[in-house]
Homo-oligomer: A and B are copies of this chain.
Amino acid sequence: MTQLLRVQNFVVTSDGFGAGKGQSLEHPFGNADPGQLMSWAGATASWPNRTDPGGTRGLDDYFTRDFKNNIGAEIMGANKFSPFRGPWENYDWQGWWGDEPPFHTPVFVMTHHLRPSFSLSDTTFHFTDADPASVLEEAKKAAEGKDVRLGGGGTTIREFLDADLVDTLHIVVAPVAIGTGVRFWNSPDDLADRFHHEAVPSPSGVTHHLFWK
């Protein structure tokens, strides 16, 4: 069974930004409003942070519940893990996700500022300054036959795309423009020469872009 490297549920603004500018502890997405960008998933029955019963079970729910389907490890960039730059002053920061992170697998954080691994519930965070191909090899080993999720942010996804290591991408274009931020692409056509591509509009207003080799 081939192990894939999959980008899943990565949201891009309608003007092509994968993150806002000015990330901070108070504004994890910078000038982008995460509520606006993620409302398509938050409305579904499968949204992991749902506190009330109910939620939609249409197209967006399929993508939301596929997030964990056959995933055995995640790779993420340093800026997805924390708002801090530079060396760690201490190890108090344990991510944005509280005591029960939504990953439930080993997670490999790519950073030049290493620190010891630690676990929260059934998620274990490892820190590595290796190159993308080596990190992927390590993550596949940890995934024990399952696929590896490439969690973002956009800069990390671009690095793995440049190294031609990505097998499939699910990119969600939200109907929100932010004017400035970290550019992910000019348009979905940027990937059209290397991947098959389907664009699937959802009744919620987002468009799901699916890419595969």
Query: Is A134 at the interface (CB under 8 A from chain B)?
Result: no
Query: Is A56 at the interface (CB under 8 A from chain B)?
Result: yes
Query: Is A212 at the interface (CB under 8 A from chain B)?
Result: yes
Residues 55-73 of chain A, each 1 if its beta carbon lies under 8 Å from chain B, else 0:
0111100110110010000
B198 near A59: Cβ-Cβ < 8 Å: yes
Chain A's interface: helix, strand, loop or mixed, by majority?
A: mixed
Number of A residues, CB within 8 Å of B: 21
Report A50-90 residues with CB < 8 Å from chain B CB: 53, 56-59, 62-63, 65-66, 69
Give the residue name and chain of the B residue nearest to A60 (CB): B198
Give the residue name and chain of the B residue nearest to A70 (CB): B65
Residues of B within 8 A of A56 (CB): 196, 212
CB < 8 Å neighbour of A66 from B2, B66, B203, B210: B66
Query: Is A200 at the interface (CB under 8 A from chain B)?
Result: yes
Can you give 25 contacting A-B residue pairs, CB < 8 Å? Answer: A2-B53, A45-B212, A56-B196, A57-B168, A57-B196, A57-B210, A57-B212, A58-B196, A58-B198, A58-B200, A58-B210, A58-B212, A59-B198, A59-B200, A59-B208, A62-B62, A62-B63, A62-B66, A65-B66, A65-B69, A66-B66, A69-B69, A198-B203, A200-B200, A200-B202
